[in-house]
């Protein structure tokens, strides 16, 4: 059996080919019109091959109608999509997040609150600006003063080194009693004092050593300190005092304070006893310089009392 091959005359084939091309062109124009209508309505349809109906290029993304418009007003729709996508990604990277986030602010607030609580209720650092406590402390030394002992354990005792606010009257300023009750309440409010100390606004803070407490009688004569008529052997002073002080009795709720550098100290022998309410904290630890690093010697509990004289041999 022979196979046969059908044959179409050349003229008929040419007419058929031209008709096919015209049909495809009409179909393409119809598809373009349909795609434009879909773009205006908010959809971005693609042909089954995944190509852009107008450019014939394959679109990398499927986007909404506004993204199809290029910012420069020109170029094909596909290029407009790619430029928008590039700018969008760069904006996400360069714009970034704000410098401070809510978590950063919360962390900072918590840290500030903890620091404020420690400084106002537990301990605070201080530095020495003068020579009034030399040789125990020199200019520039740094120490830690704790507040727990006087709050929960005991009252200030002779031998303690304390930091305190002096009475305003010693500077020639009006006493707190002369100020209105409202202002006095503000000045004496512990949170206000703690706030000033935290931000370094309390520059009127002194450091001295307690030598006598309420009920004691203090006197300086012959280059020596006497408390209740008994001499005090003070190993920590720089030199013997070159002044005399008449006997003074320390009133209730007061302490008598003096600097270890007795001849170069603005202390109670000049302006009188200190109210206990003015005491801020007790110095306990030196952390600078390193050759002084460590706790302070304890001179409480009668450690400054002079030893009794040996009995006379008859």
Active-site residue list: 132
The overall longest dimension of the chain from CA atoms, in Å, is 164
Beta bridge partners of 123: 146
How far apart, in whole angstroms, are the C-alpha atoms of residue 270 and residue 246? 11
Q: In this structure, what token pair is assigned to residue 33?
A: 């019109």
Distance (Å) of CA 179 to CA 164, 168, 169, 176, 184: 20, 11, 12, 5, 6
DSSP reduced 3-state for 116: helix
Is 296 within 8 Å of 286 (Cβ atoms)? yes
Distance (Å) of CA 278 to CA 188, 189, 259: 9, 12, 17
How far apart, in whole angstroms, are the C-alpha atoms of residue 211 and residue 218? 8
Q: In this structure, what token pair is assigned to residue 28?
A: 């393409």
CA dihedral 188, 193, 194, 199 (to 10 degrees): 170
DSSP H or E segment with residue 259: none
DSSP H or E segment with residue 185: helix 181-187
- 37-73 burial, b at 16+ Cβ within 10 Å, e below that, comes to eebeeeebeeeeeeebbeeeeebeeeeeeebbebeee
């Amino acid at each position: 059996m022979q196979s046969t091959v059908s044959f179409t005359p050349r003229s008929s084939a040419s007419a058929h080919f031209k008709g096919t091309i015209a049909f495809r062109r009409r179909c393409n124009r119809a598809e373009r019109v349909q795609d434009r209508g879909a773009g205006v309505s908010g959809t971005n349809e693609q042909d089954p091959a995944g190509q852009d109906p107008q450019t014939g290029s394959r679109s990398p993304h499927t986007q909404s109608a506004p993204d199809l418009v290029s910012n420069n007003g020109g170029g094909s729709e596909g290029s407009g999509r790619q430029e928008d996508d590039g700018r969008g990604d760069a904006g996400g990277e360069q714009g970034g997040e704000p410098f401070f986030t809510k978590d950063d602010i919360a962390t900072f607030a918590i840290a500030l609150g903890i620091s404020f609580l420690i400084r106002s209720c537990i301990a605070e650092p201080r530095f020495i600006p003068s020579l009034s406590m030399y040789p125990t402390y020199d200019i520039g030394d740094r120490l830690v003063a704790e507040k727990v002992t006087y709050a929960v354990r005991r009252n200030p005792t002779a031998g303690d080194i304390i930091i305190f606010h002096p009475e305003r009257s010693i500077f020639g300023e009006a006493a707190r009693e002369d100020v209105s009750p409202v202002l006095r309440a503000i000045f004496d409010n512990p949170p206000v004092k703690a706030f000033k100390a935290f931000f370094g606004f309390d520059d009127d803070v002194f450091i001295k050593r307690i030598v006598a407490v309420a009920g004691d009688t203090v006197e300086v004569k012959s280059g020596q300190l006497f408390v209740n008529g008994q001499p005090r052997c003070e190993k920590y002073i720089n030199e013997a005092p070159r002044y005399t002080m008449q006997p003074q009795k320390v009133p209730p709720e007061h302490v008598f304070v003096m600097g270890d550098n007795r001849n170069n100290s603005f202390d109670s022998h000049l302006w009188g006893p200190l109210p206990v309410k003015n005491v801020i904290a007790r110095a306990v630890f030196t952390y600078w310089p390193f050759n002084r690093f460590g706790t302070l010697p304890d001179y409480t509990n009668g450690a400054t009392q002079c030893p009794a004289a040996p009995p006379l041999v008859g």
